Structure 1
Amino acid sequence: MTTGADRQLAILYQGFPEGLTYLLPYLREQQSAHCGGSGMRLAGSVGWQAIRRESFAPQADLLVVGCSRRRALGLPRSRSLVLPFRIHTWLGIVGDAEAMHHSVSPNERRQFAKLRREHEWTCEAGTETADLEFFYKRMHLPTMASRHGGDSRSTDRKLAEKALFRRGVLLFVNDGGKRVAGVLCRLEDSGTTLRMRLLGVLDGDETHYRSGAVKAVYYLTMEWAAGHGVRRIDFSGADPFPGRGVYQFKRRFRPTVAHPRDHFRDRCVYVRVGRDTAAVRDFLVATPMLTVDAADRITAVHFYDADRPPRLDIRADSPGVHRSRTVDLDEFLREI
């Protein structure tokens, strides 16, 4: 195994440009937090023939390729994983609001009930264009900027009105009568599926995350759905990394993890290790992944070695995740 003073992780990304928005920001965060370097270094490009011949090293420690499912499954299998490019999480609506609350753990339920009384949270549906304007400018855009900075991604304002607001519902969480959070949803499947698309808190203020207002968005959306003939809430897309805070947050509602139904369905991410270094091992152990097995089932992978225990505290179990498995890095990297 190679060790050295330079612990920067050189990652080579090729493929769909959406990968620069959806995949690399989290990988950059993980490198910075766990590999001791000053930041992720993106390597140059490499051709498909070089990838097939496994000759992309020494350009990169990790090769990450966004490509079609068929191409990903046809690339070399050793020292590699295939991930879904995106996943979706959805929640079935059964019964009324009270029944939906009982789908989460008793402790979680009690905590929300306590916070709800303290903050006097209520749900308000915004129906006017002015409501959308307030949500988009005072909540959504500031929240994206504060949470994602330069990696912020969003939906164009006009598209949000045409494709979401006019075809869905805008819900606000009021704290003692003041709007503090909101979510813009699209109604699909003849109104039986509610897809949560854009979320925000007032002025992007982190206080509203700490107060539980974002949690209230989900609970009150569940209640609204149960009272308006909705049978499924689509929590929208997510990255294939259980360690992301949004994945762990949504887990508390016990949603089903599934392949997306949109254009991302036939896309995958091919991840291959080019070098065996301390930084690579630190990164892989710190970054559990959701992968696709030969039967197209979603499986969680946690890496470990003799010096690095698996991060089983980063739980990935959820309906729709076939199983979680631990992978010994000495075995996984033995051919390097």
Structure 2
Amino acid sequence: MYVGEHECAHHLVPFLANALHAASPEATITTTEIRSGRDWTDPIAELADESADLTALVAPHHLARHRTPSSLDLPLRVHQLVDTSTPWPQVEQRITRRERTAIRRGVEAHGYTVEIDHDGTLLNHFYDRLYHPTMSSRHGTSARTATRTEAFRLFTDGGILLTLHSAGTFVAGALCHRTPDGVLHGRLIGLLEGDDEWRRRGAMSVLYREVLRWATENDAPHVDLSGGEPFLSKGTFQFKRKFGATTTIPRTWLGARTTTLTPKRDSPLMRRFLIDNPPIAHNDDNSLSARYYFDHTTPPRLDLSDNCEGLTTRHLTDLDNFPWDRT
């Protein structure tokens, strides 16, 4: 069950719904949305359904608290930030060796070249043929797609459009926006017709490398690769981690919200959900840590790597000795 502001729900509920459904096709999720501007002086735990197997309570930091011994406080979102303040060879070296090899092979196989669209000539084409189809194919009805007007506003207000081509065809693109502090933000990303085959051919990896290279050569001290839900099972988290990204809390209003995640009932659903989706949680000092779960039949999912800056510790929890509220 989700309890929190309406504006926060679409940042968390789709992931929880998909992850719970993957653990058990019969799983469902309910939401209780709180009006923005509510008087937050009272905790919201009383709004949660006590019969739920799992509750996710989203509230401002000062109201976040461990509801039971089984609760974890998570950031609502995490961002992944790459330091591009050093010369390009140093930035490139922080990309994992395996990813650098994959990029080199992709360029050799498909002849990728990158160009910068300085005047917006390709912006409509990018929006219609790459960005919009990619969002639809990746997220379906839960896609948070920017409008065409928003895309053009980003471009005209300090934006750049990096375009990746193979044999003369525009196959991947990134609309990035530079804020007054110099940080380059990856805003809109797309593959031709949303076809994931281009990802498998390494186009997205080459594109990300070129975004970092552009930032390094144009005095942008950091690249914010955006982020997502605080779980190591997120494919986008694992992909961006390979580019030397540091896991951070966003500097927007999203960074001022905490999700208190409470698994309540010991069940195959909850065990599978926790094991398959290791969360990123706040430590007592507000640093971030990876939380892995396991039991007597299933080992922790250490294949979902926490090897990145920003995650200071790793915790492993045995679900056979977990303080469930009920069984």
Q: Write the letter of the residue equivalent to 1:69.
A: H
Residue 44 of structure 1 deviates from its aligned partner by 6.0
Does structure 1 residue 25 correspond to structure 2 residue 17?
A: no
Give the structure 1 partner of residue 82 of structure 2: 91
1:130 partner SS? coil
Deviations 1:233-257 (A, max 9, x none): 1111321011111011111112111
Q: Write the letter of the residue equivalent to 2:54.
A: L
Q: 1:14 aligns with which of 3, 7, 32?
A: 3
Residue 108 of structure 1 deviates from its aligned partner by 2.5
Deviations 1:3-35 (A, max 9, x none): xxxxxxxxx111122443221222222222223
Tell me the C-alpha RMSD between the 2 structures: 2.2
Counterpart contact for 2:54–2:264, Cα < 8 Å: yes
Give the structure 2 partner of residue 283 of structure 1: 273
137-146 or 13-22: which moved more?
Answer: 13-22
Give the structure 1 partner of residue 49 of structure 2: 56
* Structure 2 residues not aligned, in runs of 5+: 35-39
Residue 106 of structure 1 deviates from its aligned partner by 2.9
112-121 or 264-273: which moved more?
Answer: 112-121
Does structure 1 residue 43 correspond to structure 2 residue 44?
A: no
Deviations 1:279-335 (A, max 9, x none): 111111111000112211111101112222211111123101111111122333245
Q: Write the letter of the residue equivalent to 1:155.
A: A
2:170 partner SS? strand
1:319 partner SS? coil
Q: Tell me the distance in 1 between the aligned counterparts of 2:260 and 2:98.
A: 39
Does structure 1 residue 152 correspond to structure 2 residue 146?
A: no
Give the structure 2 partner of residue 246 of structure 1: 236
2:232 partner SS? coil
Does structure 1 residue 68 correspond to structure 2 residue 64?
A: no
Where in structure 2 are the equivalents of 1:110-121 lying within 5 Å?
Answer: 110-121=101-112
Does structure 1 residue 142 correspond to structure 2 residue 142?
A: no
TM-score by length of 1: 0.88
Q: Tell me the distance in 2 between the aligned counterparts of 1:44 and 1:89.
A: 28
1:223 partner SS? helix
2:157 partner SS? helix
Q: 2:258 aligns with which of 268, 279, 283?
A: 268
Counterpart contact for 1:317–1:323, Cα < 8 Å: no
CA gap 1:45/1:107 in 2 versus in 1, 3 angstroms:
closer
CA gap 1:216/1:46 in 2 versus in 1, 3 angstroms:
closer
Where in structure 2 are the equivalents of 1:126-205 lying within 5 Å?
Answer: 126-190=117-181, 192-205=182-195
Give the structure 2 partner of residue 104 of structure 1: 95
Q: Tell me the distance in 2 between the aligned counterparts of 1:68 and 1:50.
A: 10
Does structure 1 residue 331 correspond to structure 2 residue 321?
A: yes
Q: Write the letter of the residue equivalent to 2:64.
A: A
Q: 1:311 aligns with which of 301, 310, 313?
A: 301
Counterpart contact for 2:87–2:216, Cα < 8 Å: yes
Q: Write the letter of the residue equivalent to 2:14.
A: P
Residue 41 of structure 1 deviates from its aligned partner by 1.2
Q: Write the letter of the residue equivalent to 1:57.
A: E
Q: 1:124 aligns with which of 110, 115, 119?
A: 115
Q: Write the letter of the residue equivalent to 2:144.
A: R
Counterpart contact for 2:61–2:257, Cα < 8 Å: yes
Deviations 1:135-181 (A, max 9, x none): 11111100000111111112222122113443221111111222100
Q: Tell me the distance in 1 between the aligned counterparts of 2:267 and 2:282.
A: 25
Q: Tell me the distance in 2 between the aligned counterparts of 1:144 and 1:113.
A: 27
Deviations 1:261-281 (A, max 9, x none): 111121011111232212111
Deviations 1:195-229 (A, max 9, x none): 11110011111221111111111011111112111
Q: Tell me the distance in 1 between the aligned counterparts of 2:183 and 2:48.
A: 46
Give the structure 2 partner of residue 8 of structure 1: none
1:184 partner SS? strand
Give the structure 1 partner of residue 37 of structure 2: none
Residue 50 of structure 1 deviates from its aligned partner by 9.3
1:301 partner SS? strand
Does structure 1 residue 294 correspond to structure 2 residue 284?
A: yes
Counterpart contact for 1:298–1:322, Cα < 8 Å: yes
Counterpart contact for 1:139–1:181, Cα < 8 Å: yes
Q: Tell me the distance in 1 between the aligned counterparts of 2:211 and 2:46.
A: 50
Identity across matched positions, percent: 29
